[in-house]
Amino acid sequence: MNWNYIKTTVIFLLFHFFSFTQSNLDNYKYVSVPDRFDFLKTADQYQLNSLTEFLLTKNGFIVLGNLDYYPSDLTENRCLMLDLNIKKIKSFLKTKLELQFKNCKNEIVFRSDVGVSNEKDFKKAFHEALRESFISITNANYNFSKKSFVTNLKAKKIMPDESLENDTSLIKTNIDNKNYKVIIVPTNYGYDVVGGNKEILLSLYQTTCDDLYIIDKLPGAAYKRGSRWVREYIKDKKTIIESLFNGF
């Protein structure tokens, strides 16, 4: 048995596996962190969610929770976003956490190394295990491959007068002869159409067909035609295609 050949092969496979996982992360621009992880009882219990957002930002990720408004490129392509899940692995007398990054198809594209803590105090244990699991994230040297975004977003709040007026996710429409501004907000099921008072006017649910959505409060289906959202439905045995926002 040629041990040198086996050793070289193993190193080669590990190198390519690491390159694959690294490039997977590099394909994504944003990360969404839930308010509460499944194994916790309340939102941000033990400040675990806050620490997660801090460590992601430290490693160069743009965390959605740090932005006042959703950027237009994410509205156009929600697959730029990863959903972060933390899995608590069952273990006797130890706390073990694993980070899982999921894409828009709910596929895990990156798993961190398992972080382990022997601390008895829950908060200390979760924080220590989380920081240890982030070592593999740091080693991945994340760098969005098409990064041309505004710098310092993680430290800066985006104000309406400097961003949204040129943001394609902002739609101006006319309802009952009054001008309204609505924002198309990506969700884990599709999109929400949000009014100026932060009221959800409509929700769009992704179907099994790409870029085709079910509207929760109106008949028909919604999709994009060029840069415009349209609604298609049947009325008096005729197919009607009109601006989605005419139905408010």
Between CA 30 and CA 95 the distance in angstroms is 28
**What 3-state class would DSSP assign to 27?**
coil
The pLDDT tens digits of the residues spanning 61-113 come to: 999 876 666 677 776 777 888 999 999 999 888 999 999 999 988 899 999 99
Q: According to DSSP H, which parts of 72-206 are helical? A: 72-76, 122-139
**Which class for 222: exposed (0-12), middle (13-18), buried (19 or more C-beta within 10 A)?**
buried
Instruction: List 116's β-bridge partners, or say none.
Output: 96
The pLDDT tens digits of the residues spanning 121-169 come to: 999 999 999 999 999 999 999 998 754 333 333 333 333 333 323 333 4
Query: Tokens standing for 84?
Result: 């972060």
Nearest 5°: the CA angle 139, 144, 146 is: 155
Whole-structure pTM value: 0.54
Of the listed ranges 30-44, 102-116, 147-161, 200-214, the one predicted with least confidence: 147-161
Decide if 130 contacts 55 (C-beta within 8 A): yes
